[in-house]
Amino acid sequence: MGFENRFYSQAENELNEIVIKNRRIHENREKEIYEKYSDISSINNALISTSGKLLTLIADKNGDISARLRELESENISLQAELKSSLKKHGFPEDYLEPVYSCHICNDKGTVNGKRCECFMNMVRKAAAADLNRTSPLSLCTFDDFDLSYYDDTEVTKIGTTARKIMEKNLSFCKNYAENFHLPYNSVLIRGRTGLGKTHLSLSIASEVLAKGYSVIYGSAPDFFRRVEKEHFGAHTDTDTLEMLIKTDLLVLDDLGAEFESKFYCSVLYNIINDRLNASLPTVISTNLELSEIETRYGERIYSRIATMDKPIFVGSDVRALKKRRQQ
């Protein structure tokens, strides 16, 4: 399985827009330079002339042209060096007048040696991820509206400080994680009881990283596992959800442990976590389970990989219940 044709079409449209944008940048650079700097314009005209002479010489099949070809080649190399020197003299990068490409592997063609370039496949994956996220409440939660006043600031917890101070630290951790996101990056396991803000901050991370231009998939573990199960056991689809979950830049897997216990689901979870760790792709997982419960439920292989993640613990009282009381 791969991806639905509509995602390839979206990627092709995006690639066309990139090509047009980069062509405009190149044309504007040429206009800027040639209008302001006559010496660079003269060098460029000479380069165009040598290229024309070269084409004419190649078309002329009479006699031995090797000596003249070497002469033109030497002239072209000399002019290119002169052009770079002039650009540098006027404060521009040496490659300022070269074609602009967003991908220097395929030069924005989308293919390399007859195969789809990784840049193009990233666009396909982003389009598919956006479709998968279309029902996710990614825009509903931000770091700014995470209200610390719901966390007690008087009673010292078992950890040795108040719930509010712990959650202030967790909020800061999640904000820094999103603000400094890059690839490769570390994975995070967010633990705590229901209603303590795990989903809120997970969504906030996903939204901010998505805004940076990375591909992000957010959703609940039960929903993703059911989708993978349906595709694996025969539901007709052109999209491989498991591949998307494994290859997206950031996967935010919410509510791990809420799914039915199943050997197949354990296998799916192992594939996701193991393949993403091997590829140095980060995963943010939220769960109500204790570490000991994770090991018991999913086994040592999964636990040993989860144990390498950062593990902030969320504490306090059920914020949803507190909000409801305030509204009454």
**Domain assignments of the chain as residue spans, ordered by start:** 5-116, 135-327
Sorted by sequence, the CB contacts under 8 Å of residue 111 that are 6+ apart come out as: 117, 120
Instruction: At 197, list the tokens.
Output: 């803000």
Helix (H, G, I), strand (E, B) or coil at 305: helix
- Three-class SS of 154-202: CCECCCCCEHHHHHHHHHHHHHHHHHCCCCCCCCEEEECCCCCCHHHHH
Q: Report the alpha-carbon distance of residue 178 to residue 133 in Å, rounded.
A: 18
The 10 Å CB-count burial string (b at 16+, else e) for 18-29 is bbeebeeebeee
Q: Report the alpha-carbon distance of residue 165 to residue 153 in Å, rounded.
A: 7
pLDDT per residue, tens digit, the chain (328 aa), is 456 788 889 999 999 999 999 999 999 999 989 888 888 888 888 888 887 777 777 776 666 677 777 888 888 888 889 988 999 999 999 889 889 999 999 999 999 999 999 999 888 888 877 877 776 776 678 899 899 999 999 887 777 889 999 999 999 999 999 999 999 999 999 999 999 999 999 999 998 998 888 888 998 999 999 989 988 887 566 678 898 899 889 999 999 999 999 999 999 999 999 999 999 999 999 999 999 999 999 999 999 999 999 999 999 888 888 877 777 6
Tell me what pLDDT residue 237 has. Answer: 63
Q: Are strands 111-112 and 115-116 parallel, antiparallel or unpaired?
A: antiparallel
> What is the model's pTM?
0.69
* R_g of the chain, CA atoms, integer Å: 28
Tell me what pLDDT residue 215 has. Answer: 86
Phi and psi, residue 100, nearest 5°: -95, 125
Residue pointed to by tokens 């219940």: 321
Looking at the chain, list the stretches that DSSP marks H as alpha helix, in order from N- to C-terminal side: 5-36, 38-59, 66-89, 118-132, 163-179, 198-211, 221-232, 241-247, 263-278, 291-298, 300-306, 319-327
Helix (H, G, I), strand (E, B) or coil at 249: coil
Q: List C-alpha distances in Å: 142 to 131, 253, 254, 271.
A: 21, 17, 16, 30
Tell me what pLDDT residue 190 has. Answer: 97
Q: Report the alpha-carbon distance of residue 234 to residue 214 in Å, rounded.
A: 31
Q: Report the alpha-carbon distance of residue 312 to residue 188 in Å, rounded.
A: 8
The amino acid at 261: E
User: Is there a contact between 319 and 199 (Cβ–Cβ < 8 Å)?
Assistant: no
Residue pointed to by tokens 């390498």: 308
Looking at domain 135-327, its CATH superfamily turns out to be: P-loop containing nucleotide triphosphate hydrolases (3.40.50.300)
Tell me what pLDDT residue 1 has. Answer: 44
Tell me what pLDDT residue 53 has. Answer: 75
